[in-house]
Structure 1
Amino acid sequence: MKANVTDLEIEKQLLPLFDTTGNTYARRALTHLLLTLPDTQEGVYERQRLLKAFIDNGYIHTEITYSRQDFEEVLHSFTRINDQYYYYDSNHLIATAQLLWRRRYRHSMRSRLAQLALFMEGLQIYFEQIDPALFPSAFGERITALQQYLSMFHAKEVARRIRKDRFGVRDQLFLLDLLNRKIDEKTARKHWETFYEFEAWLSLAKGIVKRGFVFPEFTAAGVQMKDFYHPALQQPVKNDLDTTGTVMLLTGPNMSGKSTLLKAIGICVYLAHAGVGVPASYCRLPYFDSITVIINLSDDLKHGYSHFMMEVQHLKNVVQEAHGGKRCFAVFDELFRGTNVDDALDISQQTINGLNKFHGSFFVISTHLYQLQPLLRAVNAWYIDCILKDQVPQFLYRLRAGWSDLKIGRIIFEKEGLPALLQRT
């Protein structure tokens, strides 16, 4: 799956909505899940099934509780398995002598091993309540392997002796033998990665339920979204969209919320293809092969491209993909604003008519070119509602079918007192 969605600001605006992870590595795993899209529709449904396993079986109400400091100390112990600090002979008598002889390390070693045992006890107790059979088979197998790995530490028994102040040489050597000989670095890393991914999926599932997101369905054609909104807004206005058109043309005055609505649509489409719930009460849409969202476009000084040239290049890439048989979703905010009005009108008309031929794709284009209305009478037009009350614009942020002919640029210009300022001598 190809996605050009920098303007959606996934890490900045969406990641915090889902992030309840307890360590840096689990957060990286969560970030990877959000930034990596499955290559097939079945891959998307597989992710949905995994998340639903967390939700439907109540695991979203469970907590993996540990302190970040304890985690970092324990992980540090695993990364130093081959250090002399941790190495003790395989012969029990010799190892006992080594442990007793190394006075410099004895107390710190005992403390570290006790911390390890208590941490692993917490993980073992948590994962004992997880039923691998409730998850998709591949992920369930990884959970089973993790459970078996955790059981190797006999952490509950060792932790019990620690609490009774009976954490002796035998227990310490047992743990050291695990670290030195029974568990290699590759095996440890594999199971830690399962732990990170489990916590990332759990965090994602919790975020979906907490925010009331819904899992979308894929359909052959048409886009239907009810009560969709931009999830980063504190008090969002929710909108409905039901269209079978290939091109959606969006108009509305300045400051009416066109860019935010474009981002909201883009986020819903993106999260749907990530296998995640979307910010809406209902969502059906086609499965797309590529996703492109171009909103905050600027010049590319490095390659000598003007704003208009950048618009043309992004559009060209999308059209070439559509010609190659891909089902494309693309958003263009104020397409061709980088050129003069006459050229913009001409090539906008040509672009919209051309894009309309790619059935199965969906293109959303916003524009201030109201002159397009008589040229594109059959276009799938929508607008963001705004009204004037006593010459004061009131922004409703409601999506309506049809065209907007409201112009408030001069009203705002005059309201800010610019005419008077410009006339001063």
Structure 2
Amino acid sequence: MFKNKTLASGHFESGRAMELKDKRILLIISGGIAAYKSLDLIRRLRERGASVRPVMTRAAQEFVTPLAVGALSGGHVYTEIFSREDEQDVGHIRLARDADLVIVAPASADLMAKMAHGMADDLASAVLLATDLPVLVAPAMNPKMWAAPPTKRNAETLKADGIHVIGPMVGEMAESNEAGAGRMAEPLQIAAAAIALLDASPKPLAGKTAIVTSGPTHEPIDPVRYIANRSSGRQGHAIAAALAKLGADVTLVSGPVTIPDPDGVTTLHVETAAEMLEAVTSHLPADIAVMVAAVADWRVASSADQKIKKMPGEAPAPLMLTENPDILKTVGHHEKRPRLVVGFAAETQNVEENGRSKLQRKGADLIVANDVSPQTGVMGGMRNQVKIISETAIDAWPDLGKDEVAMRLAELIAARLA
């Protein structure tokens, strides 16, 4: 299942264009204002090399036209189960079999109910009942409809039947003054989920759960000021994505960052160290914990409710600091300790010595130590040079892009768990 896994990036990267090369996707579009997003979804899927065959319900045609859908898909649009032309060779059965993946986007509450109860009174529901292909569903509806007990039961039934679900996302609805969970996942998110489902590469971490922390924490001084650091979150986000690519079910707990949430990952956004600790421990037990976040060591003992004013002629107000919770140490010694705990040591001197000390004190299995002195450009940069410290060895890796560091670390984690 894809659980609220987000992708904030809105641009097309040419290097990813062939990730769905030669894949055949049957796209079922049901009724709802989110049907307009299906036009962009067709474009995103075709950019990545897929062929797209659309099926539209009658309700969908009230929001977007078959002409527009056909223009973007480059082929015939299927709309009626009793079409003499389409059904002369049992067309709905052929549609149900002649593809690699079925995507339902948007999936209305009505169509989800039909799927859950095995109804087949139109072309879309008949195809879905007749298919034995993987099915990816992107719900879209009013938040109250999504929260309604029948919809929840239907969603759980679909998941139990092996249907993959992405979203819905939280945000503003088309209706004025309506917000909540119900927005259809963005086309790029759905395309990423399709790539993940059709990826035939080895999944050594399939069935494993992982928790990753990333980014800085912001510790408030007053409503407008805070204590923080220069972490961009790039390394932690890349590690979360790499673990997911190897099949792990990943929860990423991210401090405040400006980069997109990674593909195929459940991302929780927090501000402070205390919030990060609560999010991490609430997701134990897990198989893997990779604590990458540059958590602020201290916070203000008592943050001000109002902005602290600078008074002419007066000395700066003193800041009384107190120690933040040690998230890595808490996880390393937790009663629900993951099988493999990996910590990070961002140092400006004595990298190996400080990394070894941290390994012992924090109860970690591995420490990824690196030099984050300003001249290295690691903090906020795109590259990293790390040393992997264990009880028995230190392995110095060359200077690499952060994505490559992430994949090497994910592969090392998979090998150790194996």
Instruction: Give the TM bin, normalised by the shorter chain.
Output: 0.3 to 0.5
Kindly indicate which of the two structures has a greater share of residues assigned to strand.
Answer: 2
Higher relative contact order (CA 8 A, sep 6+): 1
Q: Is the radius of gyration larger for structure 1 or structure 2?
A: 1
Give the structure-1-normalised TM-score: 0.35
